[in-house]
A and B are shown apart, each in its own frame.
Chain A
């Protein structure tokens, strides 16, 4: 009666796991970061710092801030994940030998 679909329903590949985890976690952290950041700073005040003529409004300011944080967080956890996963395992081998 056992259905083949269930016996060891296969895992996502390591690469897929890494990509989706990085995207998702950086999304969550960026959401929190955006919330804290824009509670403290008004995007309308901020755009004035860079360029007086830059009048993009709050909606676009929030969006730009969020994507900035998302990309930044994704970069950070992406590089970390990459380094952790591709680290040389030589040390362990040396000890075994």
Chain B
């Protein structure tokens, strides 16, 4: 099957020049591109309570999501969110095929913008092809140069915006102007910018064809009721060119006039008439292309259309099917779980570390003492007071916390405090499990506890 290495090593991909096409799906795609990228570029600039509404403050290890502040300890939420995102992808793939690929994937969306810039500077498909073949001239340099200028500027802005999700974007703006930007921030900005430039400007459909894992396994989610883009072979064949005046029935031809427009508009360079192929990202450009020709020929639209395998074979399409229920139920359960756990989240973290250097101390008056370091993290934005308690052994008491065992922690602050737990000798023997607790003074339902061990003399 494989060609000899020496031959294949020097084969390079032929450049695809996607032809521009207008139509219903092209408009949808424009709306999706503008909305999604608009969100990407605008969101860092939104403020909430005098701070950036969405900021993943990595240097401070805090994530701000509108009114919520998440800490590294909240990582399970993020993990759950990612699982939900993956499952949603499965759900929508089973239902509507590769909607993600065609309209929402960052690769598609950024490629779309880069192709627009290419069209503004280098012109239509045939002009671009001619320009590439032509020898270098002032005109070619000007067109190629302005394309590169647009691409690079846009990429840099993209990198800057990306970094703005991790460093306050307004400060970043002034830092760039004053050139006091930190080395790593600059590095990641350029890194992301360069990745955008390479992926959207040059690699394009190659990313989907060779590098994307989803493109390879998405067919596992497909069944005969999944929405796909398909060429209606029964209607189209036998294909062939004809004059508009020719009666296709008399000429013995199908509806396909073999104009190859569907192939020219395809961003991955396939021929949809050869059937469903994994390279197809379901962007629907071929539908727009074919519809425009059908309109010109006065044939009904839909020779290439969104359909299902069942529909193509004149069978009934079932939207509700076991697969949808399984994905749907799982998705609902996970979303409900995430929402409940976030709603009932206690914004306090308590860590108890037992002093490892000593087993226990005997104090005068037959008292046994163990030493701990407790760490109280106040995850809310306001300063709060907490009552520290300990239980689990008769007569256990705390020393070293302060008046009434109350501690004050700043909003978003961490308090580390060495404390001593004391038990009368009569009650202390061997290894005992005790429980530390922290309760907010302003709201007793905000309370958490953490187990630790108390060591006493072995009888």
Contacts and interface: CB of A to CB of B under 8 A. Distances in A.
Nearest to B266: A6
A25 B187 contact: no
A10 B264 contact: no
Given A1-B260, A17-B210, A21-B211, A10 B75 contact: no
B139 to A, nearest CB: 22
A5 B184 contact: no
B9 interface: yes
Given A12-B210, A20-B210, A59 B182 contact: yes
B15 A5 contact: yes
A13 B12 CA distance: 6
19 contacts: A1-B241, A5-B129, A6-B263, A6-B269, A9-B269, A10-B11, A10-B13, A12-B12, A12-B13, A13-B10, A14-B5, A15-B9, A20-B211, A25-B211, A39-B78, A40-B75, A58-B61, A62-B58, A63-B187
B184 A6 contact: no
Contacts of A24: 207, 211
A20 B258 CA distance: 36
A12 B209 CA distance: 10
B58 A58 contact: yes
User: Interface size for chain A: under 10, 10 to 19, 20 to 34, or 35 or more residues?
Assistant: 20 to 34
A97 interface: no
Contacts, number: 86
Interface on chain A toward B: helix, strand, loop, or mixed SS? helix
Contacts of A63: 184, 187-188
B213 interface: yes
A35 to B, nearest CB: 8
A11 B12 CA distance: 7
Contact of B206 (A2, A6, A12, A36): A12
A25 B16 CA distance: 24
Interface in B31-67: 58-59, 61
A42 interface: yes
B2 interface: yes
B295 to A, nearest CB: 18
Contacts of A2: 260, 263
Contact of B14 (A5, A25, A59): A5
Interface in A17-57: 17, 20-21, 24-25, 35-36, 38-40, 42, 57
Interface string B1-22: 0100100111111111100000
B59 A58 contact: yes
Contacts of A36: 75, 79
A51 B3 CA distance: 53
